Amino acid sequence: MDQRPVRDRTGGGVRALARRLLGRVEGDSPTPRRSNPDAVVDCAVYVNGRREPGQRHYADAYARARHVRDAFVWLGLHDPGPAVLAAVGRTFGLDELTVEQALADGHRPTVQRHGPVTLLVLRTAGYVEHEELTDTSEVIDTGDVMVLIGDRFAITVRHGAAGALRSVRADIERRPTLLAAGPWAVAYAVCNRMVDSYLEVAGHVERDLERVEEAVFARDRRADIQHIYQLKREVVEFKRAVLPLQAPMRTLLDPDGPPRTLHRWFVDVDGRLSRAVDRVAAYDDLLTSIVQSRLAQLAVEQNNDMRKIAAWAAIAATQTGIAGIYGMNFDNLPGLAWRYGYAFALTLMAATALVLHRLFRRSGWL
């Protein structure tokens, strides 16, 4: 009979469990879980358009997305520092130029391809509420959003206070069919929200324009030219954010761009962007006309003031002339010894002034 001992197939698991319990008793702590930097607004893994539960470090999330079919990670950053963005770049395989571009703000809207990564830059715009327009009022707050699209990731980098993307993420998470298209669905969602914000800001600016127009053409003409110039500057800044996006949006409609399943969605965004561009261009032209009208009004007002000054100067000149003649130290001046000469001179001066005043009033100079 074989006397060899029977191998315990569960001994390894029991010993491992014992070691974990022993480690807890002796005070050993488990491996600390990595946390995302403060610049990370949100990070999630999406599989077939649905978000996986839990919060992960962006490196762990990217590792998870690379090993799961039909999965990608969406990392949202807000004003990241150089160290954070450099670490993100190393994790996701971004080149140095892409990291530098994502770190700086103030870029014009554009679409650039850096190898397997596509960089999409959009300008953000937000309306700043104000009770009345002054020569220092901030009407439109602008910033920028950069979307980095890779095979298994979408990274959004936002600079400035305007254009928060929490609501964008929440909205598209309620549309798993659309989100299942992959990282380019994130690019569509961001573009869609930016264009919506342009139209919303345009509506607010239109009301400001109506108030300025009413003030310029009112009877009392309360509009200050400095207020109009300030609104003009704000609209020009808004125009620089909206108009340059047309060319990048056309690029996204190329066959080599986003997946064909998202083509019609980008076409819809492009159509609404065209409406926003038309409205902003019309506002700029209208403000130019308002400025020219106000300048013409100021020229007319200055001309009226000069005519009034000239009329009063003419009236004063007649009094000065009469007084100057009768104030001369001549022995043979007519009426010098006349008893009523002083009263006659005053009456002549008053009559002359009254006649000239009536004539200037009748001609519209006074």
Cα 178–Cα 173–Cα 33 angle in degrees, nearest 5: 125
Residues 186 and 275 reside in one and the same domain? yes
80-126 tens-digit pLDDT = 889 998 999 999 988 888 888 888 877 889 998 888 899 999 998 88
- Domain boundary among the residues 251, 281, 297 is at 297
Same structural domain for residues 312 and 282?
Answer: no
Check whether residue 321 and residue 190 sit in a common domain.
Answer: no
Residue type, 72: F
pLDDT at residue 46 in the model: 94
Q: Are 44 and 172 in contact (CB under 8 A)?
A: no
For residue 294, which phi and psi values (nearest 5 degrees)? -65, -40
Q: Which of 297, 314, 333 is the last residue of a domain?
A: 297
* 8 A C-beta contact, residue 45 and residue 67: no
- Domain of residue 242 covers 34-297
Convert the pLDDT of each residue in 121-147 to its tens digit. 999 888 888 777 777 778 888 888 999
Does 336 lie in the same domain as 190? no
The band of 278, judged by pLDDT with boundaries at 50, 70 and 90, is very high
Instruction: For the full predicted model, state whether its pTM sits above 0.95.
Output: no
Q: Are residues 308 and 228 in the same domain?
A: no
CA distances from 101 to 92, 97, 107, 109, 302 (A): 15, 6, 8, 12, 52
Question: pLDDT tens digit string along 186-227?
Answer: 999 999 999 999 999 999 888 888 888 887 777 766 667 778
CB atoms within 10 A of CB 302: 10
Would you call 272 exposed, middle or buried from its count of C-beta atoms within 10 A (0-12, 13-18, 19+)?
A: middle
Average pLDDT over residues 278-301: 83
Top mean-pLDDT range of 27-41, 98-112, 290-304: 98-112
Q: Residues 226-261, buried b or exposed e (16+ Cβ, 10 A)?
A: ebbebbbebbebbbebbbbbeebbebbeeeebbeee
Tell whether 29 is covered by a domain.
no
Q: 156 and 186: one domain? A: yes
54, 199: one domain: yes
Distance (Å, rounded) from C-alpha 164 to C-alpha 168? Answer: 8
Determine the residue type at 122. L
Place 347 in a pLDDT band, splitting at 50, 70 and 90: confident
Residue 3 clears pLDDT 50, i.e. is over it: no
Residue 178 lies in a domain: yes
* pLDDT interval class at 157 (50, 70, 90): very high
The percentage of residues in the chain with a pLDDT greater than 90, rounded to a whole number, is 27
140-149 sheet: strands from edge to edge: 50-51, 40-47, 71-78, 153-159, 140-149, 117-127, 110-114
Separation of alpha carbons 300 and 303, rounded Å: 5
Q: Are residues 354 and 271 in the same domain?
A: no
**CATH number (domain holding residue 352):** 1.20.58.340
pLDDT attached to residue 163: 65
Asked if 75 and 208 sit in the same domain, the reply is yes
Do 179 and 305 lie in a common domain?
no
Helix (H) / strand (E) containing 42? strand 40-47
The answer to whether position 70 is within a domain reads yes
Domain presence at residue 170 = yes
| Structural domains counted in the chain | 2
Looking at 241, 266, 297, the residue that finishes a domain is 297
Distance separating alpha carbons of residues 347 and 319, to the nearest angstrom: 11
Any domain includes 19:
no
- Which residues lie closer than 8 Å to 218 by C-beta, 6 or more apart? none
Q: Quote the CA–CA distance of 217 and 211 in Å, as a whole number.
A: 10
- Say which residue, 155 or 160, is predicted with more confidence: 155
CA distance 265 to 101: 27
Q: How far apart are the first and last CA of the chain?
A: 136
Mean pLDDT for the chain? 81
| Domain-embedded: residue 289 | yes
Task: Note whether 192 and 106 are same-domain residues.
Answer: yes
The predicted pLDDT at position 129 comes to 83
Rounded Cα gap, residues 94 and 102, in angstroms: 10
Instruction: Of 16-20, 267-271, 286-290, give the range with the top mean pLDDT.
Output: 267-271
